[in-house]
Structures are given as C-alpha cells and as structure tokens.
C-alpha cells in the first residue's frame, strides 16, 4: 500500500477559513488597479481542487443555522466583490471592442453574481431581521450596497453598455451580456423583496439617499464589515480568492442544499417577482458559480499584459 502524500491527504479537507463554515479575510486592490504578476500557480491549484472537491467526502453540518446564514452572507458578499473586479475588466473590453470572449466572460460573471445574490439571500425574514440587518446597522445605521466600491465602476459600465445599444441593435454576444445584467437586476429586486418586503434598505430607512455615495469613510466601513483589506494585489490573487470562495460555497451546498432545513425561506419568495428568469438562476446556483469561476480564469488568460 502506498501512503498518500501530505498534499493528497489534504485534498478533501475544508480549506477555507480552517474549518467548515469558517471565514477568511479577503484582500483586494483598489478597483481599477489591475496588475498581472504572471504567477498562475495559486489559481491552477484552486481550479483543480474545485474539480477534486466533487469526490471529497461530505463535510459536517454547521453547528447552527445562524452560523450557516452568517457564513453565507459574508462569503457571498466577499465573492461578489472579487467577482466585480474581474467583471469590470471584461466590461471594459465589451464596451471598447465588443470582444466576443469578453462578452461571454462578462455574461458568465454576471450570472455568477446573480447566483451569489440568491445564495446569500437564503435567510428567512426573521433571521435576516434578527441576525444580519442589525449587525450591518451597528456598523452604520445607513449601511448600503452603494458603498461597495468595487461595484461603482461596474455600475457605470453597465449603464454605458445599455446606453450604447439603445438606438442600435447589439451584436448577439453583447446582447447576451446585457440580458445577463437585466436578469441580475431582477434577481436583486426579488431577493431584496424576499428579505425586506417593505423595500426599506437601511439607507432609505435612515438617511434617505443622502449617504448613497461611496466616500472613503463609508467604503472603509463597508470593507471592514466584510473583512476586506485593500492592498496591492495581483489579478491572479483576486481570481484565486474568488475560486477559494466558490469551492467553499459549493461544499456548503452539497451538504445543506440551497434552502437548509432550519431556513425554509422558499415559502417567503415573492411570487410576482420570482419569475422564470429568477427561477432559472435559483435552480442553477452551483452550475452558474462554477461557470463564473471558469470565466474568471479565462478572463485572466485573455489579458496577457498588465495595465
């Protein structure tokens, strides 16, 4: 009998955060600071583990439903931030050159973001109102997604893209990207209404939209809440961190399913907003996340030079 090497023995272990449903800090560069270091080893390792995980023994169940929901909220938001940085690059290429590969990558990343919204939005209204919303409100009474600094350039590019093709037909690949962005908007609206039926975000409930701009101060508060540090970080490392999170999410979903026993919030989905396009994301969460991870690696390879 051959003894497995240390690396082989470690394969099935839950790597992210050191223990199942543990969390890890995320390190991102300031948005727009793209730097390719040329070292793909971390990315390739995570990519092969993403496939190997499918054969790993099932992980233990979480200690409590709250632990699971908190894990999902933080990791889902962290993965979104990493994903937005990559999406921003691809949208730049879609806008500038209508590059078909960039269109496909951007659409897959947008679909991955839609899947993350559904995944993080699994708490029941009761759990969201008791566990998650008050924690954000303690960070700032108007805590808002508008303070997600990595989303700011993405939102601008999505608006520019829609405007560019308002009066002329978009090529098929570009149209697919725009469609993924529309679906993403619908998913955000549906998840928000599922968790907060009054539609009152903390921002709207407290300071109106007065604090809706991403200033240095509220960006720092937002980053701190999601354990996100800002440092010079290569694009490879951004992709590696996204893949680590997609792996942990997929391992969670294998054990707990999308709607875990202790959180039957599928009964709270607003029927009028949970239309076919939203449902199509919901039933494909794992697949869409896997595709987004693959697109993130592909996007890295299609940017040979640093800028």
Positions that interact with ligand HEM (CB under 6 A): 76-77, 80, 117, 120-121, 144-146, 148, 151, 155, 188, 191-192, 195-196, 201, 203-204
- Most distant CA atoms of the chain, gap in Å: 69
Question: What are 277's two structure tokens?
Answer: 């396009």
Residue whose pair of structure tokens reads 């790597």 in the numeric block: 15
Q: Which is nearer to ligand HEM, 54 or 156 (CB)?
A: 156
Least Cβ distance, residue 228 to ligand HEM (angstroms)? 13
Q: Which is nearer to ligand HEM, 192 or 296 (CB)?
A: 192
DSSP H helical ranges for 98-201: 100-120, 125-127, 133-139, 152-164, 172-195
Q: Which is nearer to ligand HEM, 49 or 196 (CB)?
A: 196
What whole-number distance in Å separates Cα of residue 92 and Cα of residue 102?
9
Q: Which is nearer to ligand HEM, 43 or 74 (CB)?
A: 74
Least Cβ distance, residue 83 to ligand HEM (angstroms)? 10
Could you tell me how far CA 252 lies from the centroid of its own chain?
15
Distances (CA, A) of 269 to 34, 71, 114, 121: 39, 21, 15, 10
Least Cβ distance, residue 188 to ligand HEM (angstroms)? 6
* Pairing, β 26-28 against β 228-230: parallel
What whole-number distance in Å separates Cα of residue 53 and Cα of residue 34?
30
Question: Strands, DSSP E only, in the chain?
Answer: 26-28, 228-230
Q: Which is nearer to ligand HEM, 107 or 154 (CB)?
A: 154
Least Cβ distance, residue 243 to ligand HEM (angstroms)? 19
46, 47, 49, 54: CA torsion to nearest 10: 140
DSSP H helical ranges for 30-151: 41-52, 65-97, 100-120, 125-127, 133-139
Give the residue nearest to ligand HEM (CB). Answer: 145
Q: Which is nearer to ligand HEM, 234 or 265 (CB)?
A: 265
Least Cβ distance, residue 154 to ligand HEM (angstroms)? 8
What is the chain's alpha carbon radius of gyration, rounded to the nearest angstrom? 19
Q: Which is nearer to ligand HEM, 16 or 119 (CB)?
A: 119
Least Cβ distance, residue 73 to ligand HEM (angstroms)? 7
Least Cβ distance, residue 278 to ligand HEM (angstroms)? 13
Q: Which is nearer to ligand HEM, 80 or 177 (CB)?
A: 80
Least Cβ distance, residue 282 to ligand HEM (angstroms)? 13
Neighbours of 162 (CB within 10 A): 13
């Amino acid at each position: 009998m051959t003894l497995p090497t240390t690396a082989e023995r470690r394969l099935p272990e839950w790597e992210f955060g050191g223990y199942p449903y543990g969390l890890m800090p995320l390190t991102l560069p300031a948005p727009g600071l793209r730097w390719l270091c040329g070292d793909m080893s971390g990315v390739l390792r995570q990519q092969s583990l993403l496939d190997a995980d499918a054969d790993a023994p099932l992980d233990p169940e979480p200690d409590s439903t709250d632990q699971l929901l908190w894990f999902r909220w933080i990791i889902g938001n962290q993965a979104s931030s990493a994903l937005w940085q990559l999406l921003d690059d691809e949208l730049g290429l879609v806008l500038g050159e209508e590059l078909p590969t960039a269109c496909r990558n951007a659409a897959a990343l947008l679909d991955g973001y839609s899947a993350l919204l559904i995944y993080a939005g699994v708490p029941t209204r009761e759990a969201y109102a008791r566990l998650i919303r008050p924690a954000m409100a303690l960070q700032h009474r108007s805590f808002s997604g508008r303070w997600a600094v990595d989303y700011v350039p993405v939102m601008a590019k999505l608006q520019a893209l829609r405007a560019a093709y308002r009066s002329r037909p978009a090529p098929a690949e570009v149209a697919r990207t725009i469609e993924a962005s529309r679906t993403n908007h619908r998913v955000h609206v549906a998840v928000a209404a599922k968790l907060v039926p009054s539609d009152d975000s903390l921002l709207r409930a407290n300071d109106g939209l007065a604090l809706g701009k991403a200033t240095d101060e509220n960006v720092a508060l937002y980053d701190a809440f999601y354990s996100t540090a800002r440092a010079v970080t290569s694009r490879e490392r951004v992709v590696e961190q996204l893949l680590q999170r997609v792996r942990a999410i997929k391992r969670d979903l294998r054990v707990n399913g999308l709607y875990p026993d202790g959180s039957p919030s599928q009964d709270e989905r607003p029927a009028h907003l949970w239309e076919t396009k939203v449902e199509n994301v919901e039933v494909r969460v794992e697949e869409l996340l896997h595709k987004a991870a693959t697109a993130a690696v592909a996007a890295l390879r299609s940017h040979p030079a640093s800028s």
